[in-house]
Amino acid sequence: MSGLLLPILRRPSSLISTGFVVKSPQPLVQPQRHHLHYSYRLMSAKLKPAARVAGNRQDVWTIVNEAAAASPRQPIVNMGQGFFGYNPPEFILNAAKKALDRVECNQYSPTRGRPRLRKALSKAYAPHWGRELDPETEITITTGANEGMLSAFMAFIEPGDEVIVFEPFFDQYISNIEMPGGKIVYVPMHPPKEGHIKTLSASEWTIDFDELERAVTPRTKMLVINTPHNPVGKVFSRAELERIAELCVKNQIIILSDEVYDRLFYTPFTRMATLSPEVEKITLTVGSAGKNFYATGWRVGWLMGPAELIQYVAAAHTRICYSSVSPLQEACAIGFEEADQQGFWTQCIEDMQNKMSRFNAIWDELGLPYSIPEGGYFVMANLNKVEIPEGYPFPPHVAERPRDFKLAWFLIQELGVAAIPPSEFYTDVNAHIVEDWLRFAVCKPDEVLEDAKERLRGLKKFIKQ
Ligand X SMILES: Cc1ncc(COP(=O)(O)O)c(C=O)c1O
State the residues that interact with ligand X by CB under 6 A: 1, 82, 144-146, 170, 226, 230, 258, 260, 288, 290, 296, 301
Say if residues 421 and 60 touch (Cβ distance below 8 Å). yes
Say if residues 219 and 161 touch (Cβ distance below 8 Å). yes
Closest distance between ligand X and the C-beta of residue 162, in Å?
20
Give the residue with the Cβ less far from ligand X, 78 or 146.
146
Residue 449 CA to residue 441 CA, distance in Å, equals: 10
Closest distance between ligand X and the C-beta of residue 78, in Å?
15
Closest distance between ligand X and the C-beta of residue 171, in Å?
9
Give the residue with the Cβ less far from ligand X, 20 or 84.
84
Say if residues 429 and 336 touch (Cβ distance below 8 Å). no
Closest distance between ligand X and the C-beta of residue 1, in Å?
5
Give the residue with the Cβ less far from ligand X, 82 or 89.
82
Beta bridge partners of 386: 463
Beta bridge partners of 167: 188
Closest distance between ligand X and the C-beta of residue 45, in Å?
34
Give the residue with the Cβ less far from ligand X, 301 or 375.
301
Give the residue with the Cβ less far from ligand X, 125 or 410.
125
124 φ/ψ sector (left φ>0, alpha ψ -120 to 50, else beta): alpha
Residue nearest ligand X (C-beta atom): 144
Give the residue with the Cβ less far from ligand X, 89 or 148.
148
Closest distance between ligand X and the C-beta of residue 175, in Å?
13
Residue 168: asked if its preceding bond is cis (omega within 30°), the reply is yes
Closest distance between ligand X and the C-beta of residue 321, in Å?
12
Give the residue with the Cβ less far from ligand X, 83 or 312.
83
* CA-to-CA dists, residue 358 to 202, 355, 379, 444, angstroms: 18, 5, 12, 11
Closest distance between ligand X and the C-beta of residue 261, in Å?
7
Give the residue with the Cβ less far from ligand X, 121 or 386.
121
Give the residue with the Cβ less far from ligand X, 383 or 443.
443
Give the residue with the Cβ less far from ligand X, 156 or 261.
261
Closest distance between ligand X and the C-beta of residue 407, in Å?
21
Closest distance between ligand X and the C-beta of residue 33, in Å?
49
Closest distance between ligand X and the C-beta of residue 150, in Å?
10
Give the residue with the Cβ less far from ligand X, 82 or 375.
82
